[in-house]
Amino acid sequence: MIISTKKGTPQVELDRIVDNFEKMGLSVTIIRGTDYNVFGLVGDTTKIAEKDVLANPWVENVTRVSAPYKRANRLFHPQDTVIDVRGIKIGGNNPIVVMAGPCSIEGEEHTLKLARAVKEGGATFLRGGAYKPRTSPYSFQGLGTEGILDMVKARTETGMPIVSELMDEVHIPEFEAYVDIVQIGARNMQNFQLLKAVGKMHKPVLLKRGLANTIEEWIMSAEYIMAGGNEQAILCERGIRTFETATRNTLDLSAIPVVKEKTHLPIIIDPSHATGNFKYVETMALAAVAAGADGLEVEVHDNPQCAWSDGAQCLKPDKFAEMMEKCRKVAAAVGREM
């Protein structure tokens, strides 16, 4: 439920309204404007009658929200959320960010080499997997803590913040200490216990859409994170599973305008996991920028044929730089920077 008050409502009246609703067991979010204030009520509002709220002479309007998500809902937060990561702003009309690097971290020397390459190509963040969720239990599972520390060394040298995937609550202290953006992978999008745990973290969370989840289910997972107190949620579309087999997944670019209409959260597009084929990554990246994405997550490797995981979808550094140059032109055409 959203309640707006009339212009000039005294602070004492605003405090009284908040107090009354909190006594009813509701969580109250206040959006303060120059001339008016808006209250977002989260909880069981079925017991509240609009006519009773409107009986207060300072109340201007009452609107019920049908969507099950409240904190992520644009109705409660009309302005785009902008997330600051070491001075780099994600969301709003800020420059489009690019998270680039290998699927799996393959050692200190290789990580530094790729970090330098993607930064030179125009990347904003270094992405890399230290803990890898793999379909086969016999596939490479990541370097773990060693991989995280390799990324930290790359950050020290290049200045690029780092993005890596968290798979288990046990590693939260490590990620809180070292990682700048905590990624929750597609397979864990509905791992609600993990979502509750990262909701208590103090780091931005990049939440990937599940392999076969609706947009509403995806937003509800972000709601879990935000309900825990962590408002720094970033959504990432990485393709969903359909009947089509020409690509690894089906990239749902329509998610960009839908997410921007329904929520205030930034949205990142991952064309690498979506297509599963380096030949299609550039085209989908350009389309994502044109559609209004706030960022891209792209896998880059200097020798894809020998990559420890997902080499087929990795761009080589020179192709990444070429893609970035084209993306900048598309971004300029739609009024954004990169």
Residue 237 vs residue 14, higher pLDDT: 237
Q: How confident is the model at residue 129 (pLDDT cuts 50, 70, 90)?
A: very high
Query: CATH no. for residue 9?
Result: 3.30.70.1140
Question: Quick one: three-class SS letters along 10-47?
Answer: CHHHHHHHHHHHHHCCCEEEEEECCCCEEEEEECCCCC
pLDDT in tens, 82-92: 999 999 999 99
Query: CATH no. for residue 110?
Result: 3.20.20.70
Answer yes or no: do 15 and 99 share one domain.
no
pLDDT in tens, 51-86: 999 999 999 999 887 788 888 999 888 899 999 999
pLDDT in tens, 163-222: 999 999 999 999 999 999 999 999 999 999 999 999 999 999 999 999 999 999 999 999
Q: What is the predicted pLDDT for the residue at 114?
A: 98
The DSSP code sequence of 228-281 is TT---EEEEE--B--S--SSSSB--TTHHHHHHHHB-S-EEE-HHHHH-SHHHH
Answer yes or no: do 22 and 89 share one domain.
no
Answer yes or no: do 203 and 292 share one domain.
yes
User: Within a domain: residue 72?
Assistant: no
Q: What is the predicted pLDDT for the residue at 158?
A: 98
Answer yes or no: do 44 and 94 share one domain.
no
Q: What is the predicted pLDDT for the residue at 107?
A: 96
Token look-up 């971004």 returns 331
Overall number of domains in the chain? 2
Token look-up 């409240």 returns 70
190 CB burial (10 A radius; 0-12, 13-18, 19+)? middle
User: Within a domain: residue 294?
Assistant: yes
Q: How confident is the model at residue 121 (pLDDT cuts 50, 70, 90)?
A: very high
Domain holding 227, by residue range, is 83-333
Token look-up 């990620």 returns 175
Q: What is the predicted pLDDT for the residue at 36?
A: 76
Q: How confident is the model at residue 108 (pLDDT cuts 50, 70, 90)?
A: very high
